[in-house]
A = this chain, B = another copy of it.
Amino acid sequence: MTKLSPPEQIETAEIIAIGTELLLGQTLDTNSFYLSGKLSDLGINTFRRQVVGDHRERIYDAICLALELNDLVITTGGLGASQDDITIQVVAEIAGKELVADSSVTAAIRKLYPDSDRPDFIIPRIPEGAKAFPNHNGTAPASLTTFPYKGKLGRILVLPGPPSENIPLLEEQILPYLAQYSSARFIHRYVRMVGIGEYKMEQELKDLVAAQTNPTIAPYAGEGGVLLRVSQRIEAGDEDRTQALIDIIEERLGQYIYEIGTRSLEEVVADKLHSQKLTCAFAESCTGGALSACLVSLPAASKIFKGSIVSYASSVKRDLLGVDPEIIDQYGVVSAECAQAMAENCRRLFKADLNLSVTGFAGPEGATPENPIGTVYFAVAVGDKVSVHRKFFSGNRQRIINYAVATALDLLRRSCAE
């Protein structure tokens, strides 16, 4: 085992995911995603990632390219017993080491595979002098090879590809080991908003974004909501300055903020309903069950959600939900009047605390000059009160549905007392 004394810091790392199946779009690279988050938590910066196929020269070139700029290079995949698993050979070649057996690796293999003393069983080897991390869930071990490279220290951490193997390796052995080589830490905090677009949010915060150094602010758009990330790099002795920045953001955009933290909009709604012992029910038209499905995706749904009527056809709005046919004839199914009648009938049928209706044109058919595609009406009946809301969403059918679901959830949230 290589002993580094005094420990040299790791400030930058580059991840290289190896596998032709990744380049062909057959396998989604979740390893790099997971690893990136973990490195960020350790305060190790990553400026680039690469994906290459199971190809000796390309793996060689990718590792050398990454060694130039980084204190640590991490490979995932391209390991194991199969013939095209060439990563560890390339690493040994770059480091100028022989591949050798390691007693801790061999012991872990013997434990996992009782028949591994068969002559045809290939015990994996690691570069001589590398730090071994035995794999208790598969064949290929992880290893960290340290060697002089162009006048500085080269480090290559080799990980097996399957997440079921590399996640336990990282959590139990490797991340604690790497932590001793990092002095910096990051704080990441999230401000989540709905009912405001990315453009307007950025206009409101332009000065903060322009002035940012540490902490920094980064906006992200999603379907139906926007997210701001506030990040601060913490050096020894630094205090947390994220709250002061979040206070300013709240002052300006508080009306749109549903969460400062990690909960989704439906989780916030469910938590509110749950803590206030309230139930909800829906009469859905253009969202077609997507609003209900969104709440039911949460394990706690049974405590807060009674059910809904997906009254997609007009006849169902009339016969089953009980909307007065005259309302439909006079105002149409996409109207404030119809939304109100749907919410009132939802209340009559489900007797929930919050009864919400949604009806609109998601396209491609049914629009009128007054109510073009993207027009959606919402009504909320709480006790004997009903409020009606008209919104317009642009984009394709699925986008309109997604925005309508987010808006309905936001109306539910606002209908709960604080």
* A residues apposed to B, CB below 8 Å: 20-30, 32-40, 46-55, 58, 62, 65, 80-84, 112-113, 120-121, 136-139, 162, 164, 168, 188, 198-199, 202-203, 206, 209-210, 218-223, 229, 231, 282, 284, 286-293, 295-297, 299, 301-302, 305-313, 315-316, 320, 349-350, 363-366, 394-399, 401-402
Give A159 to B15 CA distance when docked, in angstroms.
23
B292 and A307 within 8 A (CB) = no
Q: A47-B55, A284-B289 are in contact. Are A220 and B26 (CB under 8 A)?
A: yes
When the two chains form the complex, which single residue of B222, B286, B306, B320 contacts A349, counting CB atoms closer than 8 Å? B320
A292 engages B288 (CB within 8 Å):
yes
Q: How many copies altogether?
A: 2
Provide the bound-state CA to CA distance between A34 and B23, in Å.
Answer: 10
- The contact of A395 among B29, B80, B112, B299, by CB within 8 Å, is B112
Q: Is the CB of A49 within 8 A of B47?
A: no
B62-A52 in contact (CB<8A): no
**A20–B217 CA distance with the chains assembled, in angstroms:** 11
User: Please, how many angstroms separate the alpha-carbon atoms of A193 and B206 in the complex?
Assistant: 51
Known: A25-B36, A199-B139, A307-B313. A112 touches B394 (CB 8 A): yes
Asked if residues A290 and B289 are in contact (CB atoms below 8 Å), the reply is yes
Establish whether residues A363 and B289, one from each chain, have CB atoms under 8 Å apart when the complex forms. no
B83 A395 Cβ-Cβ under 8 A: no
Structural contact, B81 and A198, CB atoms closer than 8 A? yes
With a cutoff of 8 Å between Cβ atoms, the chain B residues found around residue A296 in the complex are 286-290, 310, 312, 401
A301 engages B288 (CB within 8 Å): yes
A-B contact pairs, 16 of them (CB 8 A): A21-B220, A22-B33, A23-B40, A25-B36, A26-B220, A47-B53, A138-B395, A162-B222, A164-B223, A284-B289, A288-B289, A288-B292, A290-B290, A290-B293, A297-B398, A307-B316
Tell me whether A299 and B81 are in contact (CB under 8 A). no
Q: Which residue of B lies closest to A222 (CB)?
A: B162
> For A310, what are the chain B residues with a Cβ–Cβ distance below 8 Å?
282, 289, 292, 296, 307-310
Query: Contacts A288-B295, A307-B311 known; A22 to B36 CB distance under 8 Å?
Result: yes
On chain B, the residues within 8 Å of A349 by CB distance are 320
Contact call A399/B292, Cβ cutoff below 8 A: no
Docked Cα-Cα span, A155 to B282, in Å, equals 51
Tell me, in angstroms, the Cα distance from A290 to B405 when the chains sit together.
Answer: 13
Q: Nearest B residue to A24 by beta-carbon distance?
A: B40
A307: which of B312, B396, B397 is its contact (CB, 8 Å)?
A: B312
CA distance A136 to B321 in the complex (A): 35
CB within 8 Å for A36 and B48 given contacts A307-B309, A313-B305: no
Residues of B close to A313: CB separation below 8 A:
302, 305-307
